């Protein structure tokens, strides 16, 4: 079996196998957080005509002098414009979103005038174009608004709608199957015996991958029995799942059957040990076009390895521009011990103090089974291999959770 590899080598192999699954067209109301596979192009001008940006009075700017009075001759409101033309000495009442008539070039806010019936007195001069949104000012017909690879957020979905794009073409998301293994495990809601523990890994992993997949299937817990495990894994490998994730049985103990069973079923194993902590016994392989991840059984190890290995694969499959996730560089608010030969992903809390300074505080608890400390973290400090001790104020790389 291959020796332990570093994280970059592992990710190179994962990315090489993480191929897109094609594209699909979705209505925009179902496309939140999906990744564009085709640019979004405007189908009209926005605004479609010159529009008032304020409630006030439409004027010809050349008519306006301090103290001058103009006669109000009509009104323009949203959905019902003014059909006529104003002449010297005239103005119209106009409201936000209303069409601006062709010979009106400015809008004066209603707070800046004095109205006496139809006689409107202006206190200040006005610049041409004031408070007028010109036709196509936001975007124009045929303009590329969103590029391939854009992840759709509420603002970009609103932009799709405004540009008259009711549907978008996005990259397909994979189907994921998760299998926890171990005689000691029982499902939440049951009463464990002295030898049993509650299975938690599939639930944390499911929540983690949910935004990046079309479905997650949590299969019933598999026992530490080689023949039963083989039957269960065979059925999952032959299902319609694009990614298979196992939890537990990934090491080399007497009852760690996952790796040899996967290999016996034809899974091409790329690696099974990686120089990180928590999570050294991380497996990755392929079964045809399917990706197979074997995660450790300890709860924190399981979620951390899913964050640093599974999520990048999911992002790469959908052409997300930053497959490694959002990273920052922040100063430490407490010292950090020197590191060993394995890259350490340290639980941490990012805080902004009363002075507006943002820093990161490492959590002392590093046990790979301690979920309480992990649930209080909102970031992971990426402590490089053989890094020296770091003092308060020194900058570290973090991965936001």
CATH fold, domain 7-22+172-317, is Molybdenum Cofactor Biosythetic Enzyme; Chain A (3.40.980)
Distance in angstroms (rounded) separating the CA atoms of residues 282 and 368: 14
| pLDDT above 70 as % of the chain | 98
The answer to whether 139 and 91 have CB atoms below 8 angstroms apart is no
3-state secondary structure of 165: coil
Q: What top-level class would CATH report for the domain 23-46+143-171?
A: alpha beta
Does residue 325 come out as left (phi exceeding 0), alpha (psi in the -120 to 50 range) or beta?
A: left
Distance in angstroms (rounded) separating the CA atoms of residues 317 and 174: 8
The answer to whether 52 and 97 have CB atoms below 8 angstroms apart is yes
Question: Residue 188: pLDDT band by 50, 70, 90 thresholds?
Answer: very high
Q: Residues 219-271: pLDDT tens digits?
A: 999 988 889 999 999 999 999 999 999 998 766 555 578 889 999 999 999 98
Would you say residue 272 has pLDDT above 90? no
Where helices occur in 306-356 by DSSP H, the ranges are 311-317
Q: Residues 140-154: pLDDT tens digits?
A: 999 999 999 999 999
Mean pLDDT of 45-57: 96
DSSP conformation letters of 263-279: HHTT-EEEES-BSEES-
**Contacting residues for 240 by C-beta, under 8 A, at least 6 apart:** 175
Distance in angstroms (rounded) separating the CA atoms of residues 278 and 49: 59
Q: For residue 248, how far is the Cα from the chain centroid?
A: 28
Q: What are phi and psi of 392, to 5 degrees?
A: -55, 135
Burial letters for 174-210: b for 16+ Cβ neighbours within 10 Å, e otherwise?
bbbbbbbbbebbbeeeeeeeeeeeebbbbebbbebbe
Distance in angstroms (rounded) separating the CA atoms of residues 54 and 144: 29
Would you say residue 394 has pLDDT above 80? yes
Distance in angstroms (rounded) separating the CA atoms of residues 327 and 348: 13
Mean pLDDT of 377-401: 95
- DSSP class of 307: I
**Contacting residues for 304 by C-beta, under 8 A, at least 6 apart:** 276, 278, 279, 345, 380
Beta-carbon neighbour count of residue 400 at 10 Å?
A: 11
Distance in angstroms (rounded) separating the CA atoms of residues 95 and 76: 7
CATH fold, domain 51-133, is Molybdopterin biosynthesis moeA protein; domain 3 (2.170.190)
Mean pLDDT of 19-45: 96
- DSSP class of 310: I
Distance in angstroms (rounded) separating the CA atoms of residues 233 and 262: 7
Q: Is 327-400 a domain of CATH 2.40.340.10?
A: yes
Q: Residues 87-100: pLDDT tens digits?
A: 999 999 999 999 99
Q: Which H or E element spans position 133?
A: strand 132-133
pLDDT top residue among 25 and 354: 25
Q: What are phi and psi of 9, to 5 degrees?
A: -65, -40
pLDDT top residue among 158 and 226: 158
Distance in angstroms (rounded) separating the CA atoms of residues 384 and 197: 33
Domain ranges of the chain: 7-22+172-317, 23-46+143-171, 51-133, 327-400
Q: In the structure encoding, which two tokens stand for residue 231, read together?
A: 């039957």
Beta bridge partners of 105: none
Q: Residues 325-375: pLDDT tens digits?
A: 889 999 999 999 999 999 999 999 999 988 899 999 999 998 999 999 999
Question: Residue 75: pLDDT band by 50, 70, 90 thresholds?
Answer: very high
């Amino acid at each position: 079996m291959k020796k332990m590899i570093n994280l970059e080598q592992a990710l190179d192999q994962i990315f090489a196998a993480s191929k897109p699954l094609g594209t699909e067209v979705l209505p925009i109301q179902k496309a939140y957080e999906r990744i564009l596979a085709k640019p979004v192009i405007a189908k009209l001008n926005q605004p479609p005509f010159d529009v008032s940006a304020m409630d006030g009075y439409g004027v010809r700017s050349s008519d306006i002098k301090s103290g001058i009075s103009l006669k109000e001759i009509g009104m323009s409101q949203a959905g019902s414009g003014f059909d006529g033309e104003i002449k010297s000495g005239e103005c119209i009442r106009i409201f936000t979103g209303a069409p601006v008539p062709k010979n009106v070039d400015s809008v004066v806010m209603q707070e800046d005038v004095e109205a006496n019936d139809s006689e409107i007195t202006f206190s200040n001069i006005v610049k041409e174009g004031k408070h007028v949104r010109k036709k196509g000012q936001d975007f124009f017909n045929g303009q590329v608004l969103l590029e391939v690879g854009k992840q759709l957020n509420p603002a970009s979905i609103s932009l799709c709608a405004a540009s008259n794009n009711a549907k978008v073409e996005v990259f397909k998301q994979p189907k994921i199957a998760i299998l926890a293994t171990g005689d000691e495990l029982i499902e939440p809601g049951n009463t464990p015996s002295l030898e049993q523990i509650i299975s938690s890994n599939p639930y944390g992993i499911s929540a983690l991958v949910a935004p990046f997949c079309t479905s997650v299937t949590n299969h019933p817990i598999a026992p530490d029995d080689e023949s039963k495990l083989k039957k269960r894994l065979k059925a999952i490998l032959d299902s319609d799942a694009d990614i298979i994730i196992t939890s537990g049985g990934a090491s080399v103990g007497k009852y760690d059957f996952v790796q040899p069973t996967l290999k016996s079923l034809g899974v091409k194993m790329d690696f099974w040990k990686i120089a990180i902590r928590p999570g050294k016994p991380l497996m990755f392989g392929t079964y045809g076009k399917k990706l197979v991840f074997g995660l450790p059984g300890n709860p924190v190890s399981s979620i951390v390895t899913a964050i640093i290995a599974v999520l990048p694969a999911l992002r790469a499959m959908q052409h997300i521009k930053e497959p490694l996730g959002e990273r920052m560089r922040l100063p430490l608010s407490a010292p950090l011990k020197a590191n060993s030969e394995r890259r350490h992903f340290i639980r941490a809390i990012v805080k902004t103090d009363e002075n507006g300074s943002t820093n990161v505080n490492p959590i002392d608890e590093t046990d790979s089974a301690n979920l309480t400390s992990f649930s209080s973290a909102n970031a992971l400090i990426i402590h490089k291999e053989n890094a020296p001790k770091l003092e308060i104020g020194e900058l570290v790389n973090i991965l936001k959770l």
